[in-house]
Structure 1
Amino acid sequence: MKSTVWLPLLTFICRSASSNPILGLFDSTCQVVSGECPNKNVSFWLYSNSTRENPILLNPLDLNPWDFQPPRPLKILIHGYTGYRDFAPNSYIRPVLLDHEDVYVISIDYGPLVRYPCYIQAVQNLPLVSQCLAQLINNLVDRAIVANDRIHLIGFSLGGQVAGQTANYVKRKLKRITGLDPAKPLFILGPDSRRLDQGDADFVDVIHTDVFGRGILRAAGHVDFYPNFGAQQPGCMEENMQDPGSCNHERAPRFYAESINSTVGFWGRQCSGWLVQLLSLCPTTGAQALMGYHVSDELRGSYFLQTASKSPFALGKTPDVDNRQTLAKFHLNFDHNEIDNDYEPQLLEAFLELEAVKVVDKMDEANLDKQLNWIDRPEEEPLSRNFIN
């Protein structure tokens, strides 16, 4: 195994004490919030070229169709832990979208529910956030204000998992979800209804940039991209020596923002899995695929690419190098070449699963029912309406 891949793992171990998600477990100010939608802790801000400096605060129960005229595609940006409406991915992606695309952008703000150091409680607050977002989407679609197939969710970190959970509550299946380094801690185990996966939308594309730390390693979408193995991103040790993992994590929205208007593009090659790519046992010739905003919705599988250490990060297409003779020496068992679904490199004691953490009471689900129109689902389906204990 290459030494350059072990380096980020060792770095992650060394910094884990400061990024440990159980710090908030013993903080009395950390709370799980119950309530109904709309909720005072979850707000939605509408941006367009004409309102980018003065966004419109939306009331999900009293939407003005004229705010969405003329009709345009709608991009919904979802921040992560410790974020707010002007935090990543919004700060990177929203300005570029408004400059180069004729779209509406909604930036969700649920900052009071995901503040530091309350990571465990933040994760437990996500179902409320997801149901409030679903309420907004359902009302937009039901009133024919925005067509369902023109809505695209883009979630960073915990926001990627919010997008996945929102799929549990929308009336119509979402067209596209983009996960930007979806959060790992507390999402490794448990049902798919708790985390982003390819069943959440017609097309799910994922970019992994901090797989040994804050982001998940295993594939989560129809297509998954791993810039620089998804591990240590070039330039991050210099950019943030105190916490390079934070830099790794934020490279996902930065790459995505650049992809909107890049002249060369982020091009990756397909490989059967992360471990096979790690061992340099993937073909280095043939077709390449574009990562980011303009990705093809027909792509399937995992793709790998390199980036520059600073902006502009995109390097364009990689020259072909014929490695067929090397590959011919190996006979891989493709049934055992990937990370097991129940394991990822991490400090297990630092990432307790929610089932082992009993710190809050069950949320009042009845109050949410008053404001949301639910779809009847067979009892055996995994899409649960229950909050996590």
Structure 2
Amino acid sequence: MLLMAWLSLLAFVWLGEGNPLVGLFDPACFVMRGECPNKNVTFWLYSKSTRDNPILLDPLDLNPWDFQPPRPLKILIHGYTGYRDFAPNSFIRPVLLDHEDVYVISIDYGPLVRYPCYVQAVQNVPLVSKCLAQLINNLVDRGIVRNEMIHLIGFSLGGQVAGQATNHLKRKLKRITGLDPAKPLFILGSDTRRLDAGDAEFVDVIHTDVLGRGMLRSMGHVDFYPNFGPQQPGCMEENPTDPGSCNHERAPRFYAESINSTVGFWGRQCSSWLVHLIGLCSTRAPQALMGYHVAEDVKGSFFLKTGSNTPYALGKMEDVDNSRHLAKFRLSPEHNEVDHDFEPQLLEAFLELEDPENHLKTDVDDLEKQLIWTDQAEDEPLS
């Protein structure tokens, strides 16, 4: 798996804005500690009637009339370098308000995730998550919004915010959607630090930049891999200087289109990313709809193709019988998943950023030594 490691290395460690170490020693970068509410984490409520004049919510003094009549609540969480009008909000919120009878809360924690402060942004995620959980707990405890009506939708770092917020919730949420959840500095963390299937009754994830900013491993009850995950069609033309950023942003774009698509994004099930890589997926396996209208009883990994420009959805795939080809191979379903060790990793020592003042004194050479790309020959799946 050395090739995969080097591809990932080029994708998000050494390329400009994709480098998680840029800004590590920038004096303008800071880590915020403290209690919630916090002035750097704000919540803006949108509805059809207030879409141009959203309500700034006070988590400790919520007005029940702001949520009347009762409707489902979608909470959108931006990522690194974002704010309340940044992805996924800029793509998803307008479509939701146009086509669904819902309330939308857009979180804004932009001051805590400014460029080039990625390492500090990761350290600020626990505070953001705690403040989000405080808001949700107060909404539910006061009977303003029913717990089963709340749906978190997090993009990039926001996907990991959603996962960590569940550590502080009094009740398990019904659904969380992860839109290409952030990879750098989250690979070796425990499940309490990143989004996983245990965080809600149903967790669906869309992976669009698996060799760069986003995770390769499956993370939810159902995981979708458009265009296999590493490179999205049209991104080299749309952003030739940083196609990874375009790949990453395709996740909220696809999700927004899925809300009112007439044909839908349909993926075909395969046991794993690796089996799909070597062309051993059945072309008659079940298909599932990706995005906003995904069926909550769907489980597993699904793969699909999209267009290079909007509209991206291509509808259902044609069933082709490749059973004779597959019969040549004896596949064991228990042993064809991608082991998590094959995704490029950062040392746990580098991930535990509980002491930023001491950590920032570390020499750059020492940090570079802590970057380890695993290649375990004994577990090599293609040998």
> Could you say whether these structures have the same fold, taking a TM-score greater than 0.5 normalized by the shorter chain as the test?
yes
Q: Could you tell me how far apart the structure 2 residues matched to 1:343 and 1:204 are?
A: 23
Contact 2:13 2:21 in 1 (8 A): no
Corresponding position: 1:20 with 2:50: no
Contact 2:88 2:252 in 1 (8 A): yes
Kindly tell me: are residues 25 and 352 of structure 1, through their superposed partners in 2, closer, same or farther at Cα, counting changes over 3 Å?
farther
Contact 1:156 1:181 in 2 (8 A): yes
The residue correspondences of 1:84-163 to structure 2 (distance < 5 A) are 84-163=83-162
Question: What secondary structure is seen at the aligned counterpart in 2 of 1:23?
Answer: coil
Question: What secondary structure is seen at the aligned counterpart in 2 of 1:275?
Answer: helix
What is the TM-score normalised by the length of structure 1? 0.88
Deviation at 1:357, TM superposition (A): 8.3
Kindly tell me: are residues 64 and 18 of structure 1, through their superposed partners in 2, closer, same or farther at Cα, counting changes over 3 Å?
closer
Deviation at 1:15, TM superposition (A): 5.5
Q: Could you tell me how far apart the structure 1 residues matched to 2:23 and 2:282 are?
A: 45
Structure 2 match to 1:212? 211
> What amino acid does structure 2 have at the position aligned with 1:156?
F
Deviation at 1:354, TM superposition (A): 1.9
Corresponding position: 1:35 with 2:41: no
Structure 1 match to 2:381? none
What is the TM-score normalised by the length of structure 2? 0.89
Deviation at 1:230, TM superposition (A): 1.1
> What amino acid does structure 2 have at the position aligned with 1:126?
V
Structure 1 match to 2:362? none
Residue segments in structure 2 that go unaligned for 5+ positions in a row: 360-383
Q: Could you tell me how far apart the structure 2 residues matched to 1:82 and 1:140 are?
A: 28
How many residue pairs get aligned? The number is 358
Q: Could you tell me how far apart the structure 2 residues matched to 1:139 and 1:93 are?
A: 25
Corresponding position: 1:334 with 2:333: yes
Q: Could you tell me how far apart the structure 1 residues matched to 2:13 and 2:137 are?
A: 44
Kindly tell me: are residues 103 and 18 of structure 1, through their superposed partners in 2, closer, same or farther at Cα, counting changes over 3 Å?
closer
Kindly tell me: are residues 120 and 236 of structure 1, through their superposed partners in 2, closer, same or farther at Cα, counting changes over 3 Å?
same
Q: Which deviations, in whole Å up to 9, do the C-alpha atoms of 1:260-318 show, x marking residues without a partner?
A: 00000000010000000111101101431100000000011000000000000000001
Q: Which deviations, in whole Å up to 9, do the C-alpha atoms of 1:121-142 show, x marking residues without a partner?
A: 1001011000100000000000
Kindly tell me: are residues 320 and 7 of structure 1, through their superposed partners in 2, closer, same or farther at Cα, counting changes over 3 Å?
farther
Contact 2:188 2:351 in 1 (8 A): no
Q: Could you tell me how far apart the structure 2 residues matched to 1:184 and 1:342 are?
A: 14
Q: Could you tell me how far apart the structure 2 residues matched to 1:286 and 1:335 are?
A: 18
Structure 1 match to 2:324? 325
Q: Could you tell me how far apart the structure 2 residues matched to 1:160 and 1:272 are?
A: 24
Q: Which deviations, in whole Å up to 9, do the C-alpha atoms of 1:136-179 show, x marking residues without a partner?
A: 00000001000000000000000000000001001111110000
Deviation at 1:7, TM superposition (A): 11
Q: Which deviations, in whole Å up to 9, do the C-alpha atoms of 1:183-231 show, x marking residues without a partner?
A: 0000000210000000000000000000000000000000000001111
Kindly tell me: are residues 34 and 10 of structure 1, through their superposed partners in 2, closer, same or farther at Cα, counting changes over 3 Å?
closer
The residue correspondences of 1:236-385 to structure 2 (distance < 5 A) are 236-345=235-344, 353-355=350-352, 358-360=355-357
Structure 2 match to 1:185? 184
Deviation at 1:360, TM superposition (A): 3.2
Q: Could you tell me how far apart the structure 2 residues matched to 1:162 and 1:199 are?
A: 14
Deviation at 1:358, TM superposition (A): 4.8
Q: Could you tell me how far apart the structure 2 residues matched to 1:48 and 1:212 are?
A: 37
> What amino acid does structure 2 have at the position aligned with 1:123?
V
Deviation at 1:12, TM superposition (A): 2.0
Corresponding position: 1:195 with 2:194: yes
Kindly tell me: are residues 238 and 352 of structure 1, through their superposed partners in 2, closer, same or farther at Cα, counting changes over 3 Å?
farther
Question: What secondary structure is seen at the aligned counterpart in 2 of 1:229?
Answer: coil
Q: Which has the higher contact order (CA 8 A, sep 6+)?
A: 1
Kindly tell me: are residues 47 and 150 of structure 1, through their superposed partners in 2, closer, same or farther at Cα, counting changes over 3 Å?
same
Deviation at 1:29, TM superposition (A): 1.5
Percent identical across equivalent pairs? 75
